Amino acid sequence: MFGQWIKWDTPTGTVRAAFTTKFSAPHGNGNLGLHVNDEAAGVIENRQVIVRQMELSLENSVWAEQVHGNHVEQVTTLDSGRGASDYETAVKGTDALVTTDSNVLMMMLFADCVPLVFCDPRTGTIANAHAGWRGTVANIVEATLTKMEQAGADRSSIQMVIGPSIRECCYEVDGPVLEAIDRLQLEESPYTKKGNGKAMLSLQKTNAMLAERSGVGDVLDTGICTNCQAADYFSYRHGDHGGRFASLIVKESLDVDF
């Protein structure tokens, strides 16, 4: 149900983050996406299983209408419950969420795109971002860091974790994507060219280099390829068009055992 937990201790509470896997669920194999062709009631049951494992309720969670962009929103306890039980109330047109509040469980959905979770252990400011190739070339990393700074974070102390996602071994792209990557003018190429005008791209390396360029304190990588490990994670390219797993991050001010 959960991969390895990531934990930070901050002055304002303990931060925990994780990436869900496929699991024996009330509905199907653990799809958490309401925007795919699936039964809403079953998806909500699956979501409830996840939050109960964290000793929270679905009303503590905040979900976004992910649009493959670079828009970031700061959320608070007043946003709790948005998108939790219906897609219409999700935070509109947003691919990253930031908060400084406790017990706000920020959720993002994936099936090959790159999950990015952020924490500033000095201030307790946290973020959760969705980086497809479009969001990556639009530098959602920098947009997220800017919003975190506006909330009081120090980017030099921020840690970014790259979650399970399709990797260079499996992610073939064509000319328009490569041209967009080249415009980022990275220190080294994040892709390996093939003989057919295409290339194998690492969005993980791309986002890591953008983070380092932006002054992030540290970048960690789970190293998991969703296509290679499609038995455990939903992968669109592997054929999982109707399923999504989640990245999640929350700051818990109380002592809670996960």
* Model pLDDT for residues 222-255, shown as the tens digit of each residue: 999 999 999 999 999 999 888 999 999 999 975 5
179: which residues sit within 8 A by CB, 6+ positions away? none
Residue 132 within a domain: yes
- Does the residue 62 lie in any domain? yes
How far apart, in Å, are the Cα atoms of 161 and each of 43, 93, 146, 158, 211?
Answer: 26, 23, 17, 10, 11
Query: Does residue 116 belong to any structural domain of this protein?
Result: yes
Instruction: Answer yes or no: is 256 within a domain.
Output: no
pLDDT value at residue 253: 78
* C-alpha separations of 187 from 130, 174, 212, 243 in Å: 23, 21, 10, 35
- In 24-153, which ranges are continuous DSSP H helix? 40-53, 133-137, 140-150
Q: Mean pLDDT for each consecutive 10-residue tract of the chain (258 residues)?
A: 87 96 91 94 96 93 98 98 97 98 98 98 98 98 98 98 98 97 98 94 98 97 98 95 95 65
Residues in the chain: 258
pLDDT at position 258 is 44
15 domain residue, yes or no: yes
Q: Would you say residue 103 lies in a domain?
A: yes
- What CATH number corresponds to the domain at position 87? 3.60.140.10
Q: Please give the model's pTM, rounded to 2 decimal places.
A: 0.96
Mean pLDDT of the chain: 95
Q: Which domain holds residue 233?
A: 6-251
Domain-located, residue 1: no
Distance CA 100, CA 176 (A): 38
| 257 part of a folded domain | no
